[in-house]
Homo-oligomer: A and B are copies of this chain.
Amino acid sequence: MKERIIELISNKEYKELKKLLNEMNESDISEILDEMSDEDAAFIFRLLEKDVSADVFSRMETSTQEKLIENLRDNEIKEVTSQLFVDDAVDLISEMPAILVKRILQNTDASKRKYINELLKYPEDSAGSIMTIEFVDLHENMSVKDAFERIRKVGKNKETIYTCYVIDDKRKLVGVTTVKDLLLCDPEKLVGDIMETSVITINTHVDKEEVAQMFDKYDFLAMPVVDMENRLVGIITIDDAMDVMSEEANEDFEIMAAITPSENSYFNTSVFEHTKNRIIWLLVLMLSATITGTIITHYQNAFSSLPILVAFIPMLMDTGGNCGAQSSTLIIRGLATGEIELKDILKCWFKEIRIALMVGVCLAVVNGIRIFIQYQNPILAMVIGITLMFTVMISKSLGCILPMAAKKLNLDPAIMASPFITTIVDACSILIYFNIAVIAFGI
């Protein structure tokens, strides 16, 4: 498709190009613009219908948006901002450099600018920061017929019309209803009679990760956001919740792999940027690992007189790391999806301890048999077996407790993932290993 568009541009077949763009989906157009040269992107963008262009714009990558705005004239920016939903405008502004923000706001009409500024006040990552104010509000004494009239009148520029919010004169939320319910009932009925009154709401300050969890749980298409006085201030739609969900999963994957998370995609991040995102944790973990090294040098006599001891270091380290990764991953995920809560800490730990016992015995036995066959050395098999037991117990305990401790301290539990735990478990297991070996072999 991209090739065809470039061909049409170079052949100056603009009419054909316009026709093609008209038939394409907005997401597909934005994806192609992300890959185009700046001039071509601006050229194509200008060919788009007005109502399509804002939609395309809101789906482009941040770097493309930035370049495009630099290339657009003031009146063109005005056209885009007038069509953008307020939540998309807020997204845009919070990611642009200051100089462009100024230009964007100058070319936004006053009432929308006011709303944008209000939404910008909500803390990053809060429900308020991802909500939109474009929703349909109804009154309970409207008839269903009146409700449809209102939907027809105000619906065009709303992000969703399918869930309608019933408010009283003080803008307090008293109920919700859906277009489905309205369509399937008698048009003479009152909204107040058919609306659902036990409404599940989101407070403006709730973390957006929790918002995504609520959408996953309740399967709503939109949820109302209220302030402390239960006044309706906005709504969050499921597509935004879905974006949050995939962003949060991405972020967790990156943090758990000791990467500073970034908003940009893999290919749109430069080599230097990638290096910067990865080097800090690598340095921290590398220097921490020297503690384990220092411990080893303390037992120089032990492994000088029994060099075979060194051969088991990699196996002990890897097993500890893997056991810790298993537990911490499940706990971090459980915390992220809301299945595990802080109050479950003892329940989790008790579970992990029992799992650790079973896993530890199993690993120790298999390894013991292997060592006995390979070296005919029962004491060595015993030393490794006991060390394995301890290593598994410690790593699974840390994998359970550290993420929950991080959560308690309002840190991201994902920090306490495999790389971090491995570093601690390494030191512990090496210490236990050599101490047991020294006693068992009397060295």
Please list the residues of chain A having a beta carbon within 8 angstroms of any beta carbon in chain B.
23-25, 27, 31, 148, 151-152, 155-156, 161-162, 179-180, 183-184, 198, 200, 215-219, 221, 238-239, 241-243, 245-246, 249-250, 252-254, 256-259, 265-267, 271-272, 274-275, 278-279, 281-283, 285-287, 289-290, 292-294, 296-297, 300, 303-304, 307-308, 310-315, 317-319, 321-323, 325-326, 328-331, 333-334, 337, 339-340, 344, 347-348, 351, 354-355, 358-359, 362-363, 366-367, 370, 418-419, 422-423, 426, 430
Contacts and interface: CB of A to CB of B under 8 A. Distances in A.
Nearest to A311: B293
A contacts with B: majority SS: helix
A297 to B, nearest CB: 5
Contacts of A239: 219, 238
Contact of A318 (B180, B184, B423): B423
A190 B278 CA distance: 57
A282 B218 contact: no
A422 B322 CA distance: 10
A243 B257 contact: no
Given A256-B329, A319-B289, A183 B155 contact: yes
Nearest to A356: B275
A398 B106 CA distance: 50
A340 B266 CA distance: 8
Contact of A317 (B25, B317, B328, B329): B317
Contacts of A215: 242
